[in-house]
Structure 1
Amino acid sequence: MEIIPAIDLLNGTCVRLNQGNYERVTQFNKDPVAQALSWQKQGASRLHLVDLDGARSGKPVNDSSIKKIASALEIPVQIGGGIRSVERAEALIDLGLDKIILGTLAIDKPQSIKSLAKKHPERIIVGIDSKKGKVATQGWLNESNVLATELAKYFNDSDIASIITTDIETDGTLKGPNLKAMRSIANVSKKPVIASGGVGSMSDLLSLLSLEALGVTGVIVGRALYDGRVDLKEAKKALGENKLQDFPQGLNSFA
């Protein structure tokens, strides 16, 4: 299982939110490029990048930092946050981002994601952020009536790379992942699933191994890494991601 460190960008700095609340922000590093290079040096095999300003406004705000991070790293970078058009997704692919995470667009224009994934196979990730089983959009500011499991099933016949499932109620809390919610997604999805939200300890990471046979292939970790509750190298070994490397720095409708 792959351990994927997260960097959330807000006003050009590296932060973490508690349960997606923009009023509950903790700043960890004023230099996101330095932080990205640090995760790479510690053995990260990829980086999860979120533009929180973009997620809230729907407009590209942190492109300068995004470009600097992507060009500085040797490892692939996946990005989400405020990517609400096909044009924006393709622009980020052109910038060198490895995978593009689409959430709100998966609800608003699900067929467009299938078309985009067909054009760029294995480059598109569907982000399913949910609360009590229902999908949230617009940077978690709006809740839909769409079931997370139904959204996951819709993309089974597509060319997307994977699904990232985030449980909003546990995200940033360090209280442990919502295994029940993640299992429900993994049970219906034919695509690899990446877990996100709630990881606060090594035991939390180990608990996710019970979902590996269902297709949960990775886990995104944020605050627990920044707080030192989880050591990246130890976590990689514990979850079987043993090939450590030292990289140089440098819908409304489903019809």
Structure 2
Amino acid sequence: MIILPAIDIKDGKCVRLWKGDFQTAEQVAESYMDTAQGFAEAGAQWIHMVDLDGAKSAQPVNADIFLDVAKHTPLKVELGGGIRSLDTVESYLSEGISRVILGSIALKNPRIVKEAVAEYGDRIAVGIDAKNGKVAAEGWLDASDVDYIALAREMIRAGVGTFIFTDISKDGTLSGVNAEQLSALADATRGQCNIIASGGVHTIEDIRICREMGLYGTICGKSLYKGTLDLREAIAEAQPENQTN
């Protein structure tokens, strides 16, 4: 399992939100570059980055920051937020981003997802962000009646091979991953896709839970900034030799 430390950008700053509420933005680091380089030095190979301004405005806002990290660190950048068109997908991937996350358009315009996957394959992931099992979009500001597993199955039919699943009610709360919903998603899509857990990671126990479910990856954000999880330890725990079942 891979560990993806996270940097979310709002107004050019590294922040974390509480349950996706933009009004709760808390700056957690002075320098995005120093933070990313620290993650690399701790052994991370991937970094998960989000353009929060982009998610809200439905277009890229902080692109220079993400491209800077991709160019000047050894990290593979997984990026979401404000990616609503094939042109934006092509621009990011051609300039060094390793994987882009399509979220809102998966719900609102699945045709674009299908076309993106046909062109770029596993460099496309779909973000499924849910509250009470129902998918939300547009920076989590718009709720829907679409079940998160139903959307995953639709996206698998479109050719998507990687999902980032976030329980919005857990995000930024340090309250533990939603093992029940993650397990249900893994069971419903078993063998058809890679699942990355996001939201609620608190301690090394959450890493163990995700690893033992056979997930592809786990995103760690506030737990790293608050010191409840050590990145080196998390990366070590995620390795296959630590599998206990």
TM-score bracket, normalised by the shorter chain, equals over 0.9
Tell me, yes or no, if the aligned pair for 1:12 and 1:30 is still in contact at 8 Å.
no
- Aligned partner of 1:141 in structure 2 is 141
> Runs in 1 of length 4+ with deviation above 6 angstroms?
none
| Aligned-residue offset at 1:209 | 2.8
Aligned pair partner of 1:196 in 195, 198, 202: 198
CA distance, structure 2, for counterparts of residue 41 and residue 6 of structure 1 = 15
Task: State how 1:158-169 maps to structure 2 within 5 Å.
Answer: 158-169=158-169
Q: Name whichever structure is richer in helix by fraction.
A: 2
SS at structure 2 position matched to 1:194: strand
Deviations 1:61-115 (A, max 9, x none): 1122122111111121110011111211111111110001000010111122112
| Aligned-residue offset at 1:241 | 6.2
> What amino acid maps onto 1:166 in structure 2?
T
1:55 aligns with 2:49: no
| Aligned-residue offset at 1:210 | 3.2
> What amino acid maps onto 1:203 in structure 2?
E
CA distance, structure 2, for counterparts of residue 73 and residue 186 of structure 1 = 32
CA distance, structure 2, for counterparts of residue 123 and residue 159 of structure 1 = 12
Task: State how 1:152-231 maps to structure 2 within 5 Å.
Answer: 152-189=152-189, 190-212=192-214, 216-231=215-230
CA distance, structure 2, for counterparts of residue 157 and residue 52 of structure 1 = 28
Task: State how 1:1-255 maps to structure 2 within 5 Å.
Answer: 1-189=1-189, 190-212=192-214, 216-240=215-239
Q: Give the total of aligned pairs.
A: 239
Deviations 1:128-147 (A, max 9, x none): 00001100000000001111
CA distance, structure 1, for counterparts of residue 93 and residue 179 of structure 2 = 32
Tell me, yes or no, if the aligned pair for 2:125 and 2:162 is still in contact at 8 Å.
yes
CA distance, structure 1, for counterparts of residue 240 and residue 16 of structure 2 = 25
SS at structure 2 position matched to 1:79: strand
Tell me, yes or no, if the aligned pair for 2:106 and 2:155 is still in contact at 8 Å.
no
Structure 2: which 5+ runs fail to align?
none
> What amino acid maps onto 1:133 in structure 2?
G
| Aligned-residue offset at 1:161 | 3.7
SS at structure 1 position matched to 2:217: strand
Tell me, yes or no, if the aligned pair for 1:2 and 1:241 is still in contact at 8 Å.
no
Tell me, yes or no, if the aligned pair for 1:117 and 1:159 is still in contact at 8 Å.
yes
| Aligned-residue offset at 1:14 | 0.7
Deviations 1:173-196 (A, max 9, x none): 001011111112112222110000
CA distance, structure 2, for counterparts of residue 145 and residue 85 of structure 1 = 24
> What amino acid maps onto 2:52 in structure 1?
L
Q: 1:191 to 1:57 in 2, by over 3 A?
A: same
Structure 1: which 5+ runs fail to align?
243-255
- Aligned partner of 1:245 in structure 2 is none
Tell me, yes or no, if the aligned pair for 1:79 and 1:99 is still in contact at 8 Å.
yes
| Aligned-residue offset at 1:220 | 0.3
Relative contact order higher in (CA < 8 Å, ≥ 6 apart): 1
Tell me, yes or no, if the aligned pair for 1:123 and 1:160 is still in contact at 8 Å.
no
CA distance, structure 2, for counterparts of residue 194 and residue 48 of structure 1 = 11
